[in-house]
């Protein structure tokens, strides 16, 4: 029988995005959220947490290129990397492409996300058993409070600020992040929509601005997030994403990307006027 199933992802009470679904592959409810994997007609397999799109096979490379390679090419020698969240495995996959990385620790709160992605979305989860991977099922908030380890890069690949991810958008979390970064450490975080989530973005940037000598934000296009225009925050103890970016390293690395390149790296930090106006108080570096 031909499927006539569509799903709608709602953003607030005013916006929705619809996808034609060919098959529901997995549907579960963990302690933290609902987890679904569906085969869509237009975007390949899609992971949803609490009904919100996390990744789709067709466009996940954009998000994962931009969360990982921007800081990996700014830091001169990133060896120890921490990913918080990121249960689909796409961010860790990109981190592990850099041969200088010696260890990638990933702290994901929800085992169901990891297992569902292992089984149904190998495109993103394929490197979760890589020898350099240290996968921990646990709360990222608790991890950064307790760990004695220092990281060159921390990538906060979280869901939106609801449920277990809410404290990941708070000041205490970023104080702990500051403490477990090395002296030239960088933290990049999923920074929400600069169009629809202005207050959330201001809050996050004001926290980073208060704690870090460099606090900036960069944009990328995400086709399956509401509005398409999405951002990452970039904060560091000194390294600047443009002044300290040695662009020749991208070519020298021999790595091939579908979205990231040296020009996108630089352009991403050029913000449209409405975002500059909203965030001018908090951009520093
Ligand atoms: N790219 C995605 C996005 O922004 O839509 C995020 C992908 S990844 C699936 C987000 C992960 O963060 C989820 O699997 C969720 O379980 C995890 N997460 C949420 N809160 C967390 C916490 N406190 N500690 C660790 N992981 C957390």
| Domain residue spans of the chain | 5-56, 60-279
Gap from CA of 229 to ligand 1 centroid (Å): 19
The 10s digit of each residue's pLDDT in 191-226 is 999 999 999 999 999 999 999 999 999 999 989 998
CATH code linked to domain 5-56: 2.30.140.10
- Token pair listed for 167: 């404290």
Of 159-168, 243-252, 264-273, the least confident: 159-168
Is 60-279 a domain of CATH 3.30.360.10? no
Q: How confident is the model at residue 77 (pLDDT cuts 50, 70, 90)?
A: very high
Residues 238, 213 contacting (CB under 8 angstroms) = yes
Q: How confident is the model at residue 12 (pLDDT cuts 50, 70, 90)?
A: confident
| Residue-averaged pLDDT of the chain | 96
Among residues 59, 157, 160, 176, the one annotated as catalytic is 157
State yes or no: is 129 an active-site residue.
no
> Strand order in 151-157's β-sheet?
133-137, 103-108, 80-85, 151-157, 181-190, 229-236, 214-221
Whole-number Å distance between alpha carbons of 162 and 176: 20
269-184-230 Cα angle (round to 5): 25
3-state secondary structure of 121: coil
Gap from CA of 107 to ligand 1 centroid (Å): 9
End-to-end CA distance of the chain: 58
181 pairs with which residues across the strands? 151
- Token pair listed for 70: 């921007």
**pLDDT at res. 121:** 98
Go through the chain and tell me how many residues it has: 285
**pLDDT above 70: residue 190:** yes
Task: Kindly give the pairing relationship between strand 34-40 and strand 15-29.
Answer: antiparallel
Whole-number Å distance between alpha carbons of 13 and 3: 27
- Assess whether the C-beta atom of 275 lies below 6 angstroms from ligand 1: no
- Assess whether the C-beta atom of 185 lies below 6 angstroms from ligand 1: no
pTM check: above 0.95? yes
Whole-number Å distance between alpha carbons of 124 and 268: 24
Task: Kindly give the pairing relationship between strand 52-56 and strand 15-29.
Answer: unpaired
Backbone φ and ψ for 137, nearest 5 degrees, come out as -90, 110
- Assess whether the C-beta atom of 63 lies below 6 angstroms from ligand 1: yes
- Token pair listed for 64: 């994962």
Task: Kindly give the pairing relationship between strand 214-221 and strand 229-236.
Answer: antiparallel
Q: Where are the alpha helices (DSSP H) in the chain?
A: 60-74, 90-95, 111-120, 122-125, 140-146, 171-179, 198-211, 248-253, 262-267, 273-279
- Among the atoms of ligand 1, which is closest to the Cα of residue 32? 16
Residues 128, 108 contacting (CB under 8 angstroms) = no
- What burial letters (b/e) apply to 140-178, b meaning 16+ CB within 10 Å? bbebbeebeeebbbbbbbbbbbeebbeebbeeebbebbb
Q: What is the mean pLDDT of residues 115-121?
A: 98
Q: Which residue lies with its CA nearest to atom 18 of ligand 1?
A: 85
Q: What is the mean pLDDT of residues 11-26?
A: 94
Gap from CA of 81 to ligand 1 centroid (Å): 17
3-state secondary structure of 270: coil
For the chain, the farthest-separated pair of C-alpha atoms sits apart, in whole angstroms, at: 60
């Amino acid at each position: 029988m031909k499927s006539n199933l569509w799903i709608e992802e709602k953003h607030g009470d005013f916006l929705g995005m619809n996808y034609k679904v060919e098959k529901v592959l997995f549907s579960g409810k963990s302690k933290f959220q609902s987890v679904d994997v569906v085969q869509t007609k237009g975007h390949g397999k899609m992971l949803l947490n609490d009904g919100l799109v996390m990744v789709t096979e067709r466009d996940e490379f954009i998000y994962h290129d931009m969360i990982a390679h921007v800081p990996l090419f700014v830091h001169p020698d990133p060896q120890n990397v921490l990913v918080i969240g990121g249960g689909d495995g796409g961010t860790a996959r990109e981190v592990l492409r850099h041969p200088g990385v010696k260890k990638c620790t990933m702290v994901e709160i929800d085992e169901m996300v990891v297992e569902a992605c292992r089984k149904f979305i190998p495109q993103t989860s394929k490197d979760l058993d890589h020898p350099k991977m240290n996968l921990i099922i646990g709360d990222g908030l608790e991890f950064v409070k307790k760990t004695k380890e220092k990281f060159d890069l921390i990538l906060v690949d979280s869901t939106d600020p609801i449920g277990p991810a809410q404290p990941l958008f708070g000041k205490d979390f970023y104080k702990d992040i500051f403490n477990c970064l090395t002296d030239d450490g960088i933290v990049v975080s999923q920074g929400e929509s600069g169009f629809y989530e202005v207050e959330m973005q201001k809050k996050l940037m004001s926290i980073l601005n208060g704690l870090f000598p460099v606090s900036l934000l960069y944009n990328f296009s995400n086709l399956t997030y509401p509005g398409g225009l999405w951002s990452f925050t970039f904060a560091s103890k000194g390294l600047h994403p443009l002044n300290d970016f040695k662009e020749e390293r991208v070519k020298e690395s021999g790595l091939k990307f579908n979205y990231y390149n040296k020009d996108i790296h630089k352009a991403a930090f050029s913000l449209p006027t409405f975002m500059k106006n909203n965030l001018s108080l908090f951009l520093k570096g």
